[in-house]
Amino acid sequence: EAQVTQNPRYLITVTGKKLTVTCSQNMNHEYMSWYRQDPGLGLRQIYYSMNVEVTDKGDVPEGYKVSRKEKRNFPLILESPSPNQTSLYFCASSLSAGSNYGYTFGSGTRLTVV
């Protein structure tokens, strides 16, 4: 089944403890992105990647890192999480620039930083 897989689905962590949210897609998509969703703010892009070893900042990149060493994987790293990073995170992928199908989204990761 074609899908974007995120793990974990739920995570509660403490301030300052490094964490990684994994994202993997099996559709051979070139483009991958991370978004965070907060009430009243919609979805805001954190980072995106147009291909292996190519990443760019989105609108809210502070406090996050990403890497794209393989086409299928695009992990999101929080080196020192803070409570304002409590949010619902989505990984998404798309076939290519200009694709008519937009993104295929993962199921989301609900992160709580205490």
Partner 1 sequence: AQKITQTQPGMFVQEKEAVTLDCTYDTSDQSYGLFWYKQPSSGEMIFLIYQGSYDEQNATEGRYSLNFQKARKSANLVISASQLGDSAMYFCAMREGERDDKIIFGKGTRLHILP
Residues of this chain that interact with partner 1 (CB under 8 A) are 31, 33, 35, 40-45, 48, 50, 56, 58-59, 88, 90, 92, 94, 96-105, 107-108
On the CB side of 37, CA atoms within 13 Å amount to: 13
To partner 1, the closest distance from the beta carbon of 29 in angstroms equals 10
63 contacts 48 by C-beta, under 8 angstroms: no
To partner 1, the closest distance from the beta carbon of 18 in angstroms equals 25
**Which element (helix H / strand E) includes 91?**
strand 87-94
Residue (56 or 70) nearer to partner 1, CB:
56
Alpha helices in 7-110 (DSSP H): none
Q: Which of 54, 42, 111 is nearest to 83 (CA)?
A: 111
At 14, give phi and psi (nearest 5°). -105, 155
Residue (78 or 91) nearer to partner 1, CB:
91
Residue (26 or 96) nearer to partner 1, CB:
96
Residue (15 or 99) nearer to partner 1, CB:
99
